[in-house]
Amino acid sequence: MPKILFVVSGAQFWTLKDGTKHPTGYWAEEVVAPFDEFTAAGHEITVATPGGVIPTVDQSSLTPEMAGGQENVEKFRQRLADIAQLQNPIRIEDVALDDYAAVYYPGGHGPMEDLAVDKDSAGLLVSAMRSGKPLGIVCHGPAAMLPAVDEHGTNVFTGFQATGFTNVEEEQAGFADKAPWLLQDRLTGIGARFREGDAWAPNVVVDRNLVTGQNPASSLDAARELLKKLG
């Protein structure tokens, strides 16, 4: 079966407005749910990170209140321990896009720190959009869309309908007044047509080859939309 590339943040912290380094990483559910959905459909997964660093899970995503109960916490912990690819990522700069049928970016606040300014990830996204390959990006993952500018200086996501972690959700999570910038504002600023759903409820937006999910609860539905595009 075709391979799917997971591009995961390598950040261990998010620098807040006052310079404080808030511990973060990738969000557990946004990796586990799509990984299991894709592999159940027979796809092989490769994980890529900036510089090939082993990614860090955001410990907030492994609390009962954020994971949806202690049972999910235990499930996510076990699944993350079982996913060998997370311990053996390749470097984003070494990715050969032709090797993959689709690309997927999970969130967590990590992408706000590294993928939002990563040139190798930006180049990969420009190539993915030009190729027409299915591209899924969830929650804070759309921060990676910000530097995806082509040789003409145009962001390749300008004019696309998309969603991501909303200002309301950031406020309810307690970070809106601490963040150096808000994802919804920045996505609107690059000309994406932001589609906001109810806070914390599944919301997936599909526009051509681009599939975006608003929050952790949207990650499974986003994965299913990617599988539809893969046929």
Residue ranges per domain, the chain? 3-229
At residue 1 the predicted structure's pLDDT band, cuts being 50, 70 and 90, is confident
Over residues 180-209, the pLDDT tens digits come to: 999 999 999 999 999 999 999 999 999 999
CA nearest 26: which of 137, 155, 171? 137
Pick the CATH number of 3-229 from 1.10.274.30, 3.30.750.210, 3.40.50.880, 3.40.30.10: 3.40.50.880
Over residues 28-77, the pLDDT tens digits come to: 999 999 999 999 999 999 999 999 999 999 999 999 999 999 999 999 99
Q: State the number of CA atoms in the 13 A half-sphere of 13 facing the CB.
A: 8
- As a whole number of angstroms, the distance between CA 122 and CA 116 comes to 8
The whole-chain average pLDDT of the chain stands at: 98
Calculate mean pLDDT across residues 97-111.
98
